Amino acid sequence: MASEETNRGAFRIQEFYCRKMDAPIYAELCVAIAEGLDRGSETGRRVLDWPGEPTRDALPLRLIGGLHALVLANADAELAEVFAGQVSAAAINRVLARHDAALLPWLDGPPQTNEPGRSGALIVGLLEVARRCGPKLEILEIGSSGGLNLLIDRYRFDLGGVEFGPAASPVTIAPAWLGDPPVLPGIEIVSTRGCDVQPLDVTDPAVEARLSAYVWAETPMRLGRLQRAIGMIRERGVRLDRADAADWMEARLAEPQAAGVTRVLMHSVVWQYVPDASTARIRAAMEAAGARATAERPLAWVAMEPDRALGEQVVSVRTWPGGGPRVVVATAHAHAAWVRPGAERTSEQGILLDAAAEVVL
Residue 147 near residue 240, CB atoms below 8 Å: yes
Which of 17-20's residues contact partners 24+ apart within 8 Å by CB, and which partners?
17/311, 17/334, 20/311, 20/312
Phi, psi of 22 (to 5 degrees): 55, 45
Give rounded-to-5 percent helix, strand, coil for the chain.
40, 20, 40
pLDDT, tens digit, for every residue of 126-154? Answer: 999 999 999 999 999 999 999 999 999 99
Cα dist from 266 to 74, 192, 263, 295, whole Å: 38, 10, 10, 20
**Coil, helix or strand at residue 289:** helix
pLDDT of 288: 97
Supply the Cα-derived Rg of the chain in whole angstroms: 21
- Summarised one tens digit per residue, pLDDT across range 279-298 is 999 999 999 999 999 999 99
Write out pLDDT tens, residues 316-354: 999 999 888 999 999 999 888 999 998 644 444 345 566
Compute the distance between CA of residue 288 and CA of residue 298 in angstroms, rounded to an integer. 13
Q: Are 125 and 181 in contact (CB under 8 A)?
A: no
Which DSSP symbol is given to 351?
A: P
Report the sign of the C-alpha dihedral through residues 92, 96, 97, 98, in that order: positive
Length of the chain in terms of residues written: 361
Show the CA angle centred on residue 14, arms to residues 338 and 210, nearest 5°: 80
Q: What are phi and psi of 342, to 5 degrees?
A: 70, 175
Segment 206-211 shows an average pLDDT of 94
pLDDT at site 80 = 97
Q: Are 311 and 16 in contact (CB under 8 A)?
A: yes
How does pLDDT run across 48-97, given as a tens digit for each residue?
999 999 998 999 999 999 999 999 999 999 999 999 999 999 999 999 99
Which are the contacts of 292, defined by CB distance < 8 A and separation ≥ 6? none
Residues in contact with 164: Cβ distance below 8 Å, sequence separation at least 6, in sequence order = 156, 157, 184, 187
Predicted confidence (pLDDT) per residue in 253-288, tens digit:
999 999 999 999 999 999 988 999 999 999 999 999
Question: Helices (H) and strands (E) in the chain — how many of each?
Answer: 12, 13
Neighbours of 68 (CB within 10 A): 22
Query: Which amino acid does the sequence have at 356?
Result: A
pLDDT band at 359 (very low <50, low <70, confident <90, very high): very low
> With bands split at pLDDT 50, 70 and 90, how would you rate the model's confidence at 157?
very high
* Distance separating the N- and C-terminal Cα atoms of the chain: 43
Tell me, rounded to whole angstroms, the distance of Cα 47 from its chain centroid: 24
Distance CA 16, CA 172 (A): 29
pLDDT (tens digit, 9 = 90+) per residue, 221-238?
Answer: 999 999 999 999 999 999
Residue 296 CB partners (closer than 8 Å, separation 6+): 259, 260
Mean pLDDT of the chain: 93
Average pLDDT (168-182) is 96
Please name which of 307, 290, 296 lies closest in space to residue 360, comparing C-alpha atoms: 307
- Is the pLDDT reported for residue 358 higher than 90? no
Burial class (CB in 10 A: 0-12, 13-18, 19+), 286: buried
How far is 276 from 210, CA to CA, in rounded Å? 28
Q: Evaluate if pTM is beyond 0.85.
A: yes
